[in-house]
């Protein structure tokens, strides 16, 4: 069976087409500047990569171009070969704790939850409606970023604010990156041969979140009402004193939305270092004795370690710590800094094993009290697997 994973942004469309018999990617593509002049796409297949500029005034046209190219490039012989389509949907509120087959009612719910994710859910709906128009007979599945975290207990998802903010307006911790956390949870259970695990999953990329998982279910997670909360990230601040917001509003003559935009897009590694949001650039600057870069990376690592330590206590110990996403999978120095700071918990690093990028490997020593693994994430495959299980 062939399953397609779709991730639609406000001006973009990403896809991966899987052969679910082998779980191999047949083709993948990225359609950029949708609805903006000078739009173009890139498609990878059979080791080749093509790039072409084509006007795509909306997502419907982008999907039409995508499907036309799949046939024109002989990736598939006909659209009948596509058995199902899974859509990444950022926000499912607290209504959806699992993936669901898409119906008109589901689409309306996704629209309704746009208040929680105004930049993402409307774009997700555009992708769903474009595929629905092009492939009306194909079943589609919504895979929610928030779903995995809906097993949190009330004590963890409620904020210490007036309770009516929750009952009237839905103010609570939702958590994000759930598809990645679910994939890593499933993968590490397969690797260690059991679901009876206390795991701390560290999704550390340009965005970052950490989750505490027990027996396959999320107990707690760092991202909150929005993806701005939690650990320091590439351009996001993570947790800060909220009183900073009105203070900067007054000092800089900004409104609340403008300050939040700065906290989302100009803070984190980028804001603190004044150099870059990319860990590789920060490391290069450290090698050139840039003192601000050193402080920035140290701050970044400490925010991650603080949450790992907190979740270690909350879980009453841990069997495994998983490091994933762009930084977690590839940044050897950052992984070393994280694990070295956990030495007081009896967690020790095998530096030779840690010299790895983008592949599954245990990087802790044999006598480490907690196993530490690098596990590459694959959200697209997780979307495809969820889709396959539901359409069957």
Parallel/antiparallel/unpaired status of strands 139-144 and 82-89:
parallel
Task: Check residue 19 and report its DSSP letter.
Answer: E
Active site residue 48: no
Residue 231: C-alpha distances to residues 61, 173, 189, 196 (Å): 38, 14, 25, 27
Structure letter (DSSP) for residue 349: B
In a 3-state reduction of DSSP, which class is residue 367? Answer: coil
CA neighbor of 367 nearest in space, from 350, 344, 342:
350
Sheet holding 139-144, edge to edge: 48-53, 40-45, 24-32, 12-19, 2-9, 82-89, 139-144, 100-101
Q: What are phi and psi of 208, to 5 degrees?
A: -145, 140
Catalytic entry in 80, 94, 104, 145:
145
What is the C-alpha to C-alpha distance for residues 262 and 278, in angstroms, rounded to an integer? 17
Report DSSP letters for 34-99, one per residue.
TTSSS-EEEEEETTEEEEEE----SHHHHHHHHHHHHHHTTS-S-GGGEEEEEEEES--TTT-SS-
Coil, strand or helix at 217:
strand
CB 221 within 8 A of CB 153: no
Residues designated as active site: 145
């Amino acid at each position: 069976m062939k399953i397609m994973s779709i991730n639609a942004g406000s001006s973009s469309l990403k896809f991966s087409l899987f052969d679910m018999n082998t779980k191999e990617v047949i083709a993948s593509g990225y359609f950029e500047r949708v609805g903006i002049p000078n739009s173009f796409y890139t498609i990878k297949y059979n080791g080749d990569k093509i790039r072409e500029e084509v006007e795509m005034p909306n997502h419907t046209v982008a999907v039409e171009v995508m499907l036309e190219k799949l046939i024109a490039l002989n990736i598939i012989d006909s659209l009948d070969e596509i058995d199902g389509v899974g859509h990444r949907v950022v926000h499912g509120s607290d209504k959806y704790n699992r993936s669901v087959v898409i119906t008109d009612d589901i689409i309306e719910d996704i629209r309704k939850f746009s208040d929680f994710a105004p930049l993402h859910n409307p774009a997700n709906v555009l992708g769903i409606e474009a595929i629905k128009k092009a492939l009306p007979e194909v079943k589609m599945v919504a895979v929610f970023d928030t779903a995995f975290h809906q097993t949190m207990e009330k004590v963890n998802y409620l904020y210490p604010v007036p309770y009516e903010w929750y009952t009237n307006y839905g103010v609570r911790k939702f958590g994000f990156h759930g598809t990645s956390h679910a994939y890593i949870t499933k993968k590490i259970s397969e690797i260690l041969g059991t679901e009876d695990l206390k795991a701390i999953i560290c999704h550390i990329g340009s965005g970052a979140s950490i989750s505490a998982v027990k027996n396959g279910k999320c107990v707690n997670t760092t991202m909150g009402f929005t993806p701005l909360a939690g650990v320091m990230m590439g351009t996001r601040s993570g947790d800060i004193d909220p009183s900073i917001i009105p203070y900067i509003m007054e000092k800089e003559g900004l409104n609340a939305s403008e300050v939040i935009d700065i906290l989302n897009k100009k803070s984190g590694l980028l804001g603190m270092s004044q150099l870059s949001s990319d860990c590789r650039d920060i490391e290069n600057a450290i090698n050139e004795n840039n003192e601000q870069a050193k402080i920035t990376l140290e701050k970044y690592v400490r925010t991650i370690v603080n949450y790992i330590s907190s979740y270690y206590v909350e879980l009453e110990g841990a069997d495994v710590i998983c490091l994933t996403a762009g930084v977690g999978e590839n940044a050897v120095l950052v992984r070393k800094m994280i694990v070295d700071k956990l030495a007081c918990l009896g967690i020790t690093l095998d530096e030779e094993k840690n010299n790895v990028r983008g592949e599954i490997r245990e990087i802790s020593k044999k006598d480490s009290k907690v196993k530490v693994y690098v596990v590459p994430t694959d959200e697209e495959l997780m979307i495809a697997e969820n889709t396959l299980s539901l359409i069957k």
